[in-house]
A and B are shown apart, each in its own frame.
Chain A
């Protein structure tokens, strides 16, 4: 008899030991632990495998497992093993955070794209040297430093590369390096680059808007219910590009610090294009410039001169002074004004620049841009009429643009309307507004008098007319502006066939403690076509200089700088706005200005 089998090693010798049989886990004769424990173990295995199978079925079965399924396990259906399908499989894991932004024709201006942070799990890397060498090539970093990080870092996971594109991720996946992963997230992408940079603004790392429309409309853009619906902006990519290129060239041509421009629908207030040069690429948003306290914040490329900057606009304002006077009913276009002798007020001497130096009609005063005539006109109608009219045009409040609160220019208007203030405001000094203010106010003035509120969101229908200006005055203002382009200071802006009206404005640049002797802001305001304006545009150049051509070294007036810049702009964008040049049927402003046009000695 074999000793080994004659006793149970765990208990007393048991001559009756009988091997247990499966169907009888518990031996009949004498209870034993061994077999019953086998049965327990088997029971545990049965339970465990059933749990695993059940869980597997729950995950795989969409109907039963929907509630338990992970958010990652979405959808079912086919798709080849292509890179695209793979990218799609990954992308559907990333929740959309921000709605796209489009231009008025549905072209994408801002969208969200998946990017990947490449990281390495050190415990899973098989060969740090190979991994470092190959990854460094893809991530364009130093392989030695990367290898040191892979082998010596105290951390379990190491970030190798931030913001890799799906193609780069694929390239890294294709290397087949174990322990290297990509974590996806959505980032904001501006496919047009610098185009409309200030309007679009930008977002921070948490995908929240920090400037421009991205911040101003943040609540709508991030609204989970609307996030799949693109938001159409009022701007037109083509017009915006035309404006920006023309401004960029003007800035170079006149060696200006900066340039700004707005093109606005005269009826609806939709901004078709708005630009400020220098600008930036919102895909690589620069940090704000570290400016010294006495430096001009307008040097910062992030600064939007058109909407944020506030400047004395100069003679451009004369059109508002004239309109305010006409609106008051105290004068008409033939009212005679004194443009002869300088005005002395409060220790200041006010003169004209190449003025007519005679008695002029109101029409001539505007056409020749006479400070004296318009200053005296303002004095004539008084500050109640002036300030009331400016208030109606929106010069006393921020433009209600879809920008974040507080960054938009707040107009600086005279607190006390003394005699001097009244005169200076009459020719556009002592009041600081943004170019956007002027554009919106001009739109209100010339569209028949309906109050225009600037907007960056495309409107499906024009807003109801809230009339603030007499339509007669509106027509007169159109005529005055047309005459300026046709005969006087605005001639350099004339583009044949588009029947432009306009007004120049050269302002001494306000600097700390007064006015700069040399630096100017040159503005040109235009409407076209003048007989029934569809669009208003303004171009503003900061400290332009006439450095070429036969007028070289002459005073850089708006007529020599901003007007030709505006001509460039209109030549580029007018065809894009659907306006055909109409050379035959010129609308004669004289017909509007009519009999009151008499006394005009000036002829081109």
Chain B
């Protein structure tokens, strides 16, 4: 069979689809929020520096080369950076598509977790994919935000799915899967980011209030149902001078660091903190580099969050406003929870610091989140192309 001219034309059209020409990508990159991108790069750099503090301790515990985890951190940064750059130049439709695909994949993996996952302690959170541990819940969050952002902003028109009910359904599904692991930290984070989006859609206050009530009911249920969770909360609420070992170490580390820190490699509490490299990386930063670095880290996250919220809010596209705001809140909330736990404003809950904490899943998921956020917060396209919904196709043709 010989190819007809028409076939070639179609192929040419496909190849030169507006989203995928080099010029188009370059043009999109020019509109990306470079300041937030730089802030994320700095945070990844901070992550390197801190991995040199926390990594060798971890390596010594596991009996591997001292710079094993430093190297791993650098290796993880490559796909994370690639994800940021790649996602940031996607067309809005492709970004949404990628987000939904990530969401569906993560949901699938979460459903399969009880059968295929690795049990560690009381929780099943990890997959082993070709020798690499993957934590699907990390990827679920940006996917959930993008998918729900889309659903929340669906226009009521013939053929369109019911937007808000679908978004609520997706949230319940996600939170249910996360809570069943159980992973209350990720559940709370997803719920918070989703609620922020819901708030951004301009939903009525009554709805928001009843949502908050529902959350309270779920929280009380979790408190009553999970002894582990209850213990954490009780310990947080009744901790007059009686702190857990982790909290003692973390607060002592921050205290020890003071304003300027003890100096690189001089920290001692990281030796005693079991999760210094991930859930308490801010304590390592505080002890060795002091208030200077911790405030800088907080400022960088605040910068990314606020600037992205601002840019998202400026968009004409409701999907961008809602999903972009949601992704910005996701990063902001996660950083805030991490720091809040360390300074004992929140109950102890393992939460990585995006870009900074050690861990492949966390790093790549942070990169994807940031990339999608950058895609959504690009300056408005001078020649906007419509985002077509799947159900639009029939109507248009």
Give residues in A with beta carbon < 8 Å to B.
2-5, 7-10, 17, 19-22, 32-35, 37-42, 45-46, 48-49, 51-53, 55-57, 59-62, 65, 69-82, 85-86, 89-90, 93, 121-128, 156, 173-183
Interchain CB contact under 8 A, B268 and A86: yes
B39 at the A interface (CB under 8 A): no
Asked whether, in the complex, the Cβ of A17 is within 8 Å of the Cβ of B268, the reply is no
Q: Are A178 and B274 CB-contacts (below 8 A) given A5-B317, A46-B306? A: yes
Residue of A nearest to B197 (CB): A41
Interface of B is mostly: helix
Q: Are the CB atoms of B251 and A52 closer together than 8 Å?
A: no
Measured in the bound complex, the distance between the Cα atoms of B299 and A41 in whole Å is: 17
Q: Determine if B247 and A22 form an interchain contact, defined as CB atoms under 8 angstroms apart.
A: no
A181 cross-chain contacts in B, Cβ below 8 A:
245-246, 274
Stretch at the interface among B43-51, B54-62, B109-117: B54-62
In the complex, chain B residues 292-351 whose Cβ is within 8 Å of any chain A Cβ: 294-295, 298-299, 301-302, 305-306, 309-310, 312-318, 321, 325, 329, 332, 336, 339-340, 342-345, 350
Q: Say whether B34 faces chain A, with CB atoms less than 8 Å apart.
A: no
> Pick the contact of B301 from A49, A73, A85 — CB < 8 Å?
A49
Is B196 an interface position by the 8 A CB rule?
A: yes
What distance in Å separates the Cβ of A342 from its nearest Cβ neighbour in chain B?
76
Asked if residues A124 and B121 are in contact (CB atoms below 8 Å), the reply is yes
Q: Does B397 contact A (CB under 8 A)?
A: no
**In this complex, which of A76, A124, A177 has the most chain B Cβ atoms within 10 angstroms of its Cβ?**
A124
| A472 to B21 alpha-carbon distance, docked (Å) | 123
**Whole-angstrom distance from the CB of A144 to the nearest CB of chain B?**
18
Residue pair A125, B120 in contact (C-beta under 8 Å): yes
Are A37 and B200 in touch, CB under 8 angstroms? yes
Please, could you name 24 A-B residue pairs with CB atoms under 8 Å apart, sorted by A?
Answer: A3-B386, A4-B386, A7-B155, A34-B202, A37-B200, A37-B202, A38-B313, A38-B325, A41-B199, A48-B336, A55-B345, A56-B254, A57-B295, A59-B344, A73-B252, A80-B266, A81-B265, A89-B268, A156-B227, A156-B231, A176-B58, A176-B61, A176-B274, A178-B274
Residue interface mask B256-283, A partner, CB < 8 A = 1? 1111001001111101101100000000
Counting CB contacts under 8 A, is B248 at the interface?
Answer: yes
Tell me which residues across on chain B come within 8 A of A175, comparing CB atoms: 61
Complex CA gap A21/B299 in Å reads 22
Q: With A38-B309, A57-B295 known to touch, is A81 a contact of B252 (CB < 8 Å)?
A: no
Residues of B within 8 A of A (CB): 58, 60-62, 120-123, 153-155, 196, 199-202, 227-228, 231, 241, 243, 245-249, 251-252, 254-259, 262, 265-269, 271-272, 274-275, 286, 290-291, 294-295, 298-299, 301-302, 305-306, 309-310, 312-318, 321, 325, 329, 332, 336, 339-340, 342-345, 350, 380, 384, 386-387
Rounded to whole Å, the gap between the CB of B349 and the closest CB of chain A is: 11
Whole-angstrom CA separation of A505 from B196 in the bound complex = 94
Known: A175-B61, A179-B274, A181-B245. Contact between A85 and B321, CB under 8 A? Answer: no
- Compute how far the CA of A503 lies from the CA of B232 in the bound complex, rounded to whole angstroms: 71
* A-B pairs with beta carbons under 8 A, tally: 220
Most buried by A among B201, B301, B313: B313
Measured between beta carbons, the chain B residues less than 8 angstroms from A8 are 318
Q: Which residue of B lies closest to A33 (CB)?
A: B202
Q: Are A56 and B343 in contact (CB under 8 A)?
A: yes
* A80 to B305 CA separation, bound complex (whole angstroms): 37
Contact A38 B274 (CB under 8 A): no
From A4, A38, A76, A173, contact of B256 by CB (8 A): A76
Query: A51 and B345 in contact (CB under 8 A), knowing A72-B248, A81-B265, A183-B245?
Result: yes
Given contacts A17-B316, A53-B295, A125-B121, contact A85 B268 (CB under 8 A): yes
Q: Are A127 and B120 touching (Cβ within 8 A)?
A: yes
A156, chain B: closest CB distance, angstroms: 5
B contact residues around A60 at 8 Å (CB)? 254-255, 257-259, 286, 290-291, 294
Contacts of A62 in B (CB 8 A): 255, 258
Alpha-carbon separation in the docked complex, A21 to B269 (Å):
46
- Asked if A81 and B266 make an inter-chain contact with CB atoms under 8 angstroms apart, the answer reads yes
Q: Which residue of chain B is the closest to A76 with respect to CB atoms?
A: B258
Assess whether A35 is in contact with B248, with CB atoms less than 8 Å apart: no
The CA of A70 and the CA of B256, in the complex, are separated in Å by 12
Least CB separation from A77: chain B residue: B256
| A45 and B332 form a contact (CB under 8 A) | yes
Name the B residues within 8 Å of A22 (CB-CB). 310, 313-314
Q: In the complex, what residues of A have CB within 8 A of residue B254's CB?
A: 56, 59-60, 73
Query: With A61-B259, A125-B121 known to touch, is A173 a contact of B61 (CB < 8 Å)?
Result: yes
CB pair A70–B321 under 8 Å, yes or no, is no
Asked whether, in the complex, the Cβ of A70 is within 8 Å of the Cβ of B274, the reply is no
B residues less than 8 Å from A77 (CB atoms) = 256
The 5 residue pairs across chains A and B that have the minimum distance between CB atoms: A176-B61, A73-B255, A33-B202, A38-B313, A125-B121
With A41-B309, A73-B255, A183-B245 as known contacts, state yes or no: A52 contacts B272, CB within 8 Å: no
Distance, CA A39 to CA B201, complexed state (A)? 13
CA distance A52 to B265 in the complex (A): 25
A408 to B60, CA, bound (A): 56
A69→B251 contact, CB < 8 A: yes
Q: Which of chain B's residues has its CB closest to A34's CB?
A: B202
- A182 and B120: CB pair below 8 A? no
Evaluate whether A19 and B315 lie within 8 angstroms (CB atoms) in the complex, with A34-B202, A175-B61, A182-B245 already known: yes
Name the one of B228, B294, B310 contacting A42, with C-beta atoms under 8 angstroms. Answer: B310
Measured CB to CB, the closest approach of chain A to B166, in angstroms, equals: 15
Residues of B within 8 A of A156 (CB): 122, 227-228, 231
The reply to whether B121 and A70 contact each other, CB–CB distance below 8 Å, is no
- Quick one: closest B residue to A79, CB to CB? B268
The reply to whether B380 and A90 form a contact with Cβ atoms under 8 Å apart is no
Contacts of B61 in A (CB 8 A): 173-176
Q: In whole Å, how far is A165's beta carbon from the nearest beta carbon of chain B?
A: 16
What chain B residues lie within 8 Å of A57 (beta carbons)?
A: 291, 295
